[in-house]
Amino acid sequence: MYTRPSSQYKFSMAATMRNNPTPAEQAMWEILTKEVIPKFPEHKFKQQQVVLGYILDFYCETLRFGIEVDGGVHEDSEQYDRHRDRILARNGVHVLRIPNEIVFNNPQRLAFQICNSIKYKTLPRHKKI
């Protein structure tokens, strides 16, 4: 497994970001706490978590599932984001990227999509004979 160094700076930065969420991150947290987490209480999401040296907006360790809320700042970092998502995927972490507009304009559909993703990830896998 590839691991990128996680410095104390990253953990400090994540804590600062947790205490100062963007409006979209705050709205996403409300969607998770009101619509998603009650349906899957065994899977805890945490805000601004350092995973393999990267800070994810939201992360569920039991599912190895991250959620990134993408605003305007991500327009200039698409290549970096794709690279980061590939590294995380190679290490078993699935990242769902959600534009700010979806978080604000369609929260019920977003909650439904996230719940479906969790259901899919928790389905038992059948072995081929």
Which is nearest to 58 in space by CA: 90, 25, 88?
25
Mean local confidence (pLDDT), 94-109: 94
Q: Whole-prediction pTM value?
A: 0.85
> Looking at per-residue confidence, does 90 or 74 come out higher?
90
* Local confidence band at 54 (pLDDT 50, 70, 90 cut-offs): very high
* Local confidence band at 72 (pLDDT 50, 70, 90 cut-offs): low
pLDDT for position 6: 61
Question: How large is the angle between the packed helices 23-31 and 107-122, nearest 10 degrees?
Answer: 60
Q: CB of 19 within 8 A of CB of 11?
A: no
Mean local confidence (pLDDT), 19-45: 95
Q: CB of 64 within 8 A of CB of 93?
A: yes
Mean local confidence (pLDDT), 96-116: 95
The two structure tokens encoding residue 29: 């947290």
Domain extents for the chain?
A: 8-119
8-119, CATH topology level:
Endonuclease; Chain A (3.40.960)
From CA 13, how far away is CA 87, in angstroms rounded? 21
